[in-house]
Structure 1
Amino acid sequence: MAAMGRSNRAARSPEPALTTGSDGRRHAQGPLTRPVGSGLAELRPDRDRPHAWTLLIDGAPQSLVDLADPTHLGFEYQRRLGHLIDLVAPPGRPLTVLHLGGGALTLARYVAATRPRSRQQVAEIDTELTELVRAELPLERGWQIKVRGADARSVLERTPEGSVDLVITDVFSGARTPAHCTTVEFTTLAARALAPGGWYAANIADGGALPFARSQVATLGAVFPELCLTADPAVLRGKRFGNLVLAAAHTPLPIADLTRRVASDSSHGRVEHGRALTDFTAGATPATDATAAPSPAPPPGVFR
């Protein structure tokens, strides 16, 4: 999820917070704050997991990293993306993954830990954020994770055809997904990058009647024949603003396996597909480069 604003960016100064212990891992001395390109970044230690840190941008939680256990996914939308990572290929098989949006590199760490020898590229436009994450939450040696400081779409445009098993889009500018990363043209580029049998996954955010989410399902449906959506039932009913994870492919998705995993998760979720997803879309129009708008801004107080 993305930040809401930049109100305190200039008012707070960096605080030395993390030290390296005898075990070689980072230990908390208190939160660390530092201005980066996208706002005020904060690394906040987790009270329940001694080697875990939450990244916030301007007070909005972005991701959680556990340096002692990179397979731990603390946020529900990341666990749902983790289910897709688990199911896209047989367990343990290395993947080639393109992450559009990096944050604290939580999902890239998860792939590296669960699928050794995977090759991953991350597009993260905020190079100052990447420098902070690399310095304070370092990647393990041997992980093949390359981070490019560039716009997600520009990286996608340069990705060779048929070269990746999985494209994961989690792109936010401030609190909103930029319009140019929400269109049929963008999705077509993602489909072009996929190897045979590859999948496309996207994290988006919406609320109320979910017009943005409905349009995004229609957008993916204009490119891919197989689709599903996973979200909290309260979000699907318009009761609260939140995350929705979309998955798309040219071959059938493992809906039954995904549904079982989502149902067993600590955060209750629902998988929509087939006729139910068609009904959900309700005639929404696909977004194009000529018509797209950014995703809606979260309502005030949603991150508090």
Structure 2
Amino acid sequence: MAAPKDAQDPHHPSPDQVGDPVQGHVQDNFQGHVKDHDHREQPVDPLPVERRVDLGLARLLPDLDRPRGWLLTMDDAPQSYVDLDDPLYLEFEYVQRLAHVADLAAASGHPIEALHLGGGALTLPRYLAATRPGSRQRVVEIDAALIALVREHLPWPAGPHLDVHAADARAFLTAAPDACADLLVADVFGGAIVPAPLTSLEFVREAARVLRPGGSYVANIADGAPLDFARSQLATVRAVFPEVALVAEPSVLRGRRYGNLVLIAGRQEFPVAELARRTAADPFPARVVHGDRLDLLIGRAEAVTDASAVPSPPPPDGAFSL
């Protein structure tokens, strides 16, 4: 969920517009109209919302360029962006790449069953609900208070096909039945790092177990030079799935900066050429690494187990822009 500086961050109001977290006062994100001295209605800008949740300080910041656009941050790390009027609008580049994988997971518009580990403001579940109506989706978010905040201020469409669970991602995955998902998305960050329990061989084996034979596993991670964490994650995923690919911007792949990388895996061949075409056409183009080039990138990296797994490296100072 974390989005380093490669995210296209919206414009935000000044900090003095934000409510007082110490006293627990929350400014409702009111958006309406007031009358000026000529009794004409004038739009009122929405107000930021700030609240202590289970895992830190959450802020909902309005995008002044999009009337119903909101950025969710946790402890000042960008987590999600949603436009309540347009679920197809994806602000963060890494989410655009996750969406490409979701678009190619089945025939266009065909409903699927998806399991999302990591919820945030439910950007991708909203997108899937719009692009694949009738899809059965389960979202797992460990922070119950964050779920309540998002439900209150950024409500998702009501209906029987989207369930949000306040639970630990690893525990929920372990308890899930075999072959229950066509798409499994792992986008879990504790602040700005991927927790170690979601990086191990045992975790990926559980992901493979719950996927159907033609299903896709996709994970968002973050790393910087020398990309040791990303290499170990690729080695771990490849130890379980025969088909693996990586999507990232060239500057991240070359180790010039810290950023998001999207891992894709499955038991069946994925349409890599089409994915590469779509990612190359994005506003911030990315490359798809696959086959021999992926072997070179992994090098001598080895899969990690629960005993040896570590969290992703923290971002350097200035990696996030708000």
TM-score range, shorter chain: over 0.9
Identity, % of aligned pairs? Answer: 52
Of residues 55, 65, 69 in structure 1, which corresponds to 2:72? Answer: 55
What letter is aligned with 1:2? A
Match of 1:298 in 2: 315
Cα deviation per residue 1:55-97 (whole Å; 9 max; x = unaligned)? Answer: 0111111111000011111100000000000000001100100
Instruction: Tell me the TM-score normalized by structure 2.
Output: 0.88
**Is this contact kept in 2: 1:70–1:109, CA < 8 A?**
yes
Partner of 1:168: 185
- Mapped to 2, the partners of 1:42 and 1:91 lie a distance apart of 35
Identify which range, 67-76 or 27-36, moves more after superposition.
Answer: 27-36
Name the SS for the 1:19 alignment partner. Answer: coil
Tell me the SS of whatever aligns to 1:185: helix
Provide, for residues 226-283 of structure 1, a one-character-per-residue CA deviation record: whole Å limited to 9, x for no partner. Answer: 0100001111111111100000000001001100100110011111000000100011
* Structure 1 match to 2:252: 235
Other-structure match for 1:198: 215
Contact 1:206 1:212 survives alignment (8 Å): yes
Counterparts in 2 of 1:3 and 1:205: CA distance versus 1, 3 Å: closer
Shift of residue 148, structure 1, vs aligned partner: 1.0
1:115-130 map, 5 Å: 115-130=132-147
- What amino acid is aligned across from residue 152 of structure 2 in structure 1? A
Corresponding residue number in structure 1 for 2:2: 2
Q: Give the length in aligned residue pairs.
A: 296
- Pick closer, same or farther for the CA change 1:49–1:3 going to 2, 3 Å: closer
**Alignment partner, residue 112 of structure 1:** 129
Task: Return the offset for 1:2.
Answer: 3.2
Match of 1:249 in 2: 266
- Secondary structure in 1 aligned to 2:79? strand
Q: Give the counterpart letter for 2:65 in structure 1.
A: D
Amino acid at match of 1:15: V
1:189–1:30 distance in 2 versus 1, CA, 3 Å: same
Partner of 1:41: 58
Q: Compute the displacement of 1:174 (Å).
A: 2.0
Which residue does 1:186 correspond to in 2? 203
Distance 2:226 2:252 in 1: 9
Contact 1:122 1:145 in 2 (8 A): yes
- Aligned equivalents of 1:162, 1:49: Cα separation in 2: 40
Shift, 1:33, TM fit: 0.8
5+ residue gaps, structure 2, are: 5-19, 34-43
Q: Distance in 1 between matches of 2:64 and 2:50?
A: 17
Does 10-19 or 277-286 show the bigger shift?
Answer: 10-19
3-state SS in 2 of match to 1:35: strand
Following superposition, the deviation at residue 141 of structure 1 comes to: 2.3
Amino acid at match of 1:181: L
Q: Distance in 2 between matches of 1:28 and 1:108?
A: 27
Instruction: Give, in angstroms, the shift of residue 21 of structure 1.
Output: 5.0
Cα distance in structure 1, aligned partners of 2:29 and 2:285: 34
1:272 to 283, 289, 304: 289
Given that residues 64 and 74 in structure 1 are in contact (C-alpha distance below 8 angstroms), is that contact kept between their aligned partners in structure 2? yes
Residues 186-234 of structure 1: CA deviation (Å, up to 9, x unaligned): 0000000001200100000000110000000000000000010000111
Q: Tell me the SS of whatever aligns to 2:30.
A: strand
Determine helix, strand or coil for the equivalent of 2:119.
coil
Q: What is the alpha-carbon distance in structure 1 between the residues aligned to residue 228 and residue 22 of structure 2?
A: 36
- Matching residue of 2:26: 15
Q: How many angstroms does 1:12 deviate by?
A: 7.4
Counterparts in 2 of 1:139 and 1:171: CA distance versus 1, 3 Å: same
Asked whether the equivalents of residues 212 and 296 of structure 1 are also in contact (C-alpha less than 8 Å), the reply is yes
> Root-mean-square deviation (CA), in Å?
1.7
**Preserved contact between residue 17 and residue 28 of structure 1 (Cα < 8 Å):** no
**2:13 equivalent in structure 1:** none
Please say if 1:222 is aligned against 2:233.
Answer: no
Inter-partner Cα distance in structure 1 for 2:88 and 2:23? 32
Aligned-residue offset at 1:29: 2.5
TM-score (norm. length: structure 1): 0.94
Asked if the contact 2:186/2:220 (under 8 Å) is kept, the reply is yes
